[in-house]
Amino acid sequence: MDNTDLFICIDHVGLAVPDLDDAIKFHTEVMGWRVLHRERNDEQGVEEAMIGTGTQGAENAQIQLLAPLNENSTIAKFLVKNGPGMQQLAYRVHDVEKVAEALNARGVRTLYPAPKIGTGGSRINFCHPKDTGGVLLELVEPAAHPAH
């Protein structure tokens, strides 16, 4: 099986930010991006916004701004350790379970035994950074009908 059976494209780059409203203001007013989607994910402990050009399509990666909901969230811990910045790179996939299985067979550990619910109802899992050259890789299977 080659990777064309597994991966579609880059889905998004996740940036850890201490204040979501301040980050949105910078990325929209200074950089010229648009907010495409905003939500709160209590399970992941984040409030997030997806920003981009506004044109949706497999070829258009987005930027995900992630702010912690509390000091125990993964993003809060990331910010304490590393400060604001790139937290993860996300690959869009057709089938998150199939990709996780293939990567596990190749020696890449995933963080969850089964996919979790991510942005807009997507199904997600993460690859352990120790197995991916120090980068937290997210696998994203978009929802059939994204929640808005």
pLDDT tens digit string along 14-39?
Answer: 999 999 999 999 999 999 999 999 99
pLDDT for residue 148 is more than 60: no
> What is the mean predicted confidence (pLDDT) over 65-70?
98
CATH code, 3-141: 3.10.180.10
pLDDT for residue 8 is more than 60: yes
| Residue 21 phi, psi (nearest 5) | -65, -40
Answer for the pair 69, 118: CB distance below 8 angstroms, yes or no.
no
Q: Where are the domains of the chain?
A: 3-141
Say which residue the tokens 């067979």 belong to. 105
> Per the confidence metrics, is the pTM higher than 0.85?
yes
Say which residue the tokens 């990709």 belong to. 99
Q: Which residues, including other chains, have CB under 8 Å from residue 15's CB and lie 6 or more apart? A: 23, 63, 64, 65, 66, 84, 85, 86, 87
Q: How is 94-137 classified by DSSP, letter by letter?
A: S-HHHHHHHHHHTTPPBSSSS-EE-GGG-EEEEE-GGGTTT--E
